[in-house]
Amino acid sequence: MSPSVGSLYVGEVKDYATLGGYILFKKPDDIRILGLDPVLGSTIFDMVSLAETFRIHIPSKKRFIEGRNDAPPTSKKQLENLRPVAFLTSLIIQPPEPRADIMLLEEDTNEREAVYILLIIRRGTDEPWLVRTLHFDRHNLEIVRQKTFDSSGSVLSDTKYSSWKDYAGISFPSEIDIKRPQDHYEVVLNVHDLKINSPDVTAEKFILNQPPGTELQELSKQ
């Protein structure tokens, strides 16, 4: 896990040291991310998201943050604005919703790439709006990119997928580059191992309680 923060569009980017970590996922939308010191193995951050809410523990600062997934980023230290839902959106690519989405297919071929682009348009109460685009390699139909948008058309996330590998019969990208332009950070993930339907991933693994002696910070939607 290699994070960077800053103004990605103007080149003012600060890179942080590569971290080790684990990511657990349980359908439909539970995810837990544990960031570990690459040398000591101690916990740098622990994040969990359950449906619409999230919790984050930062042991070195004795801070415990909880709130809604749609709570705006408020910290001046941009790395503290990491949200579990950002990983969830990029790692688990959800299929379109037939009753709510309109799907259009675009072919985009040039001297650099040949892709199919699936445009997913949400039927809104006022007017339809583009919520996602999925880019497929024309040669092998692997997903190479996913972009998500807010209702104004601005990019929420831009994720690129590469080096797809077979993990016990499951194909999954081993390199994932997540950009969050509105939150001003980027995280590059290198997948070393993947286990599907592991009996070790129990409901208890998604419980993150506030440790004694930590300061509670509550975030809510503006």
What does the pLDDT look like over 151-164, one tens digit per residue? 889 999 999 999 99
**Are 19 and 35 within 8 A, CB to CB?**
yes
CATH of the domain at 72: 2.50.20
- pLDDT surpassing 60 at residue 13: no
Q: Which residues pair with 103 in a beta bridge?
A: 120
Rounded to a whole number of angstroms, the distance between the first and last alpha carbons of the chain is 30
Tokens 């409901």, located at residue: 203
Angle (CA) 111-189-39 rounded to 5° is 140
What does the pLDDT look like over 30-43, one tens digit per residue? 999 998 988 888 89
User: What is the value of pTM for the model shown?
Assistant: 0.86
Per-residue pLDDT, 135 = 97
Find the helix or strand (DSSP H, E) in which 84 lies: helix 84-91
Per-residue pLDDT, 159 = 96
What is the count of structural domains for the chain? 1
Q: What is the C-alpha separation between 208 and 59, in angstroms, rounded? A: 13
